[in-house]
């Protein structure tokens, strides 16, 4: 059974979603109303998937997603919002969230999103297709997080995943997840290709540390 | 002025979406599982719908 955490500042929505999702066979293991509570709940409850509202009182759900994935790179995050704004959608997907569901969607759509993300896949509400298609492909380039830049920089210096994990004091799996995210964001074919693109885009500089 | 109006309309839409999501969710459950739910479960679902509808009314009253 999929273990879920819900982060939304609207109490009635949280409680209602818990009832609806439990009825749909999901195991809701925790809820939170803000960014700080979201981090605490995910650490405490160890869910497979977190449903995160974009607008939270003490910060954005997108920023929370980045923080959660730093701590738990394997966590499936679904951004859950009433907003179909193109900028937020692109920023949300860049944050590493694997799902983007609209509150306008039905409960069966949300359940499908959870199942897809829990199974390692991704989900974007079909109503957002027109938003994504309207975006010129060259208009935006996904930005790498500071941690992803650090990882790709160390890879460019020839370090292995194990050595990077030791250097950054994280697990090898975390390094591998960052590496996969970098490859995906840069639309690279493999690690070497990702390093080449990152250098070309100026995301990293070889020998920068040695000179500094 | 236009930006401020856009912002308040956006906020209103966001606030209305939340109870609407619940109304749709619980109504969907009642519709799809009509024969399976106990009378108590059905009553609880209707209560959720009523509460969410009242929330919507309150939001609209405040906006108007």
Query: Tens of pLDDT along chain A (212 residues)?
Result: 899 999 998 888 899 999 999 988 899 999 999 999 999 999 999 999 999 999 899 999 999 999 999 999 999 999 998 777 777 777 887 788 888 898 888 888 899 999 989 988 888 888 876 665 554 444 456 678 888 888 888 888 878 888 999 999 888 888 888 888 888 888 776 777 788 778 877 777 766 544 33
State how far residue A121 is from chain B, nearest Cα, in angstroms: 24
Q: Tell me the chain B residues in contact with residue A103 when contact means C-beta distances shorter than 8 Å.
A: 17-18, 20-21
Report the C-alpha gap between A36 and A42 in whole angstroms. 10
State how far residue B19 is from chain A, nearest Cα, in angstroms: 7
pLDDT at A106: 83
pLDDT at A131: 66
A11, closest residue in chain B (CA to CA): B18
Q: CA A181 from chain center: how many Å?
A: 9
pLDDT at B23: 92
Q: Tell me the chain B residues in contact with residue A12 when contact means C-beta distances shorter than 8 Å.
A: 18-19, 22, 51-52, 55
Give me the residue from B18, B19, B28 closest to A107, CB to CB.
B28
User: Cβ of B11 under 8 Å from any chain A Cβ?
Assistant: no
User: Cβ of B20 under 8 Å from any chain A Cβ?
Assistant: yes
pLDDT at A43: 96
pLDDT at A133: 56
> Using beta carbons and an 8 Å cutoff, which residues of A are at the interface with B?
10, 12-13, 16-17, 19-20, 23, 55, 82-83, 103-104, 106-108
Q: Please, are residues A16 and B26 in contact by the beta-carbon 8 Å criterion?
A: yes
pLDDT at A189: 67
**Strand runs labelled E in chain A:** 3-7, 27-32, 49-53, 55-56, 59-60, 76-81, 99-102, 123-124
What is the band of B1 on the pLDDT scale with cuts at 50, 70, 90?
low
Strand pairing partners for A7? A32, A52
Tokens 């390093």 belong to which residue? A195
Q: Please, are residues A112 and A106 in contact by the beta-carbon 8 Å criterion?
A: no
State how far residue A102 is from chain B, nearest Cα, in angstroms: 10
pLDDT at A36: 95
């Amino acid at each position: 059974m999929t273990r879920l955490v819900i982060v939304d500042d609207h109490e009635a929505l949280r409680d209602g979603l818990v009832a609806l999702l439990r009825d749909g066979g999901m195991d809701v293991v925790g809820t939170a109303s803000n960014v700080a509570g979201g981090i605490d709940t995910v650490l405490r409850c160890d869910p497979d998937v977190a449903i995160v509202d974009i607008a939270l009182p003490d910060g954005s759900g997108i920023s929370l997603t980045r923080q959660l994935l730093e701590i738990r790179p394997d966590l499936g995050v679904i951004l859950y919002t009433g907003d179909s704004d193109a900028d937020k959608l692109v920023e949300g997907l860049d944050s590493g969230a694997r799902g983007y569901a609209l509150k306008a969607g039905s409960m069966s759509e949300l359940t499908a999103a959870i199942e897809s993300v829990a199974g390692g896949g991704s989900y974007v509400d079909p109503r957002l297709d027109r938003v994504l298609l309207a975006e010129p492909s060259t208009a935006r380039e996904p930005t790498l997080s500071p941690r992803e830049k650090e990882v790709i920089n160390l890879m460019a210096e020839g370090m292995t995943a194990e050595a990077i994990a030791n250097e950054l004091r994280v697990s090898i799996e975390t390094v591998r997840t960052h590496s996969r995210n970098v490859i995906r964001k840069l639309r690279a074919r493999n690690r070497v290709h990702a390093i080449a693109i990152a250098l070309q885009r100026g995301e990293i500089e070889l020998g920068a540390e040695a000179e500094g | 002025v236009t930006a401020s109006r856009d912002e308040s309309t956006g906020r209103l839409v966001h606030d209305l979406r939340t109870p609407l999501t619940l109304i749709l969710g619980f109504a969907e459950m009642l519709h799809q599982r009509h024969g399976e739910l106990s009378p108590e479960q059905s009553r609880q679902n209707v209560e959720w719908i009523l509460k969410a509808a009242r929330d919507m009314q309150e939001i609209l009253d405040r906006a108007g």
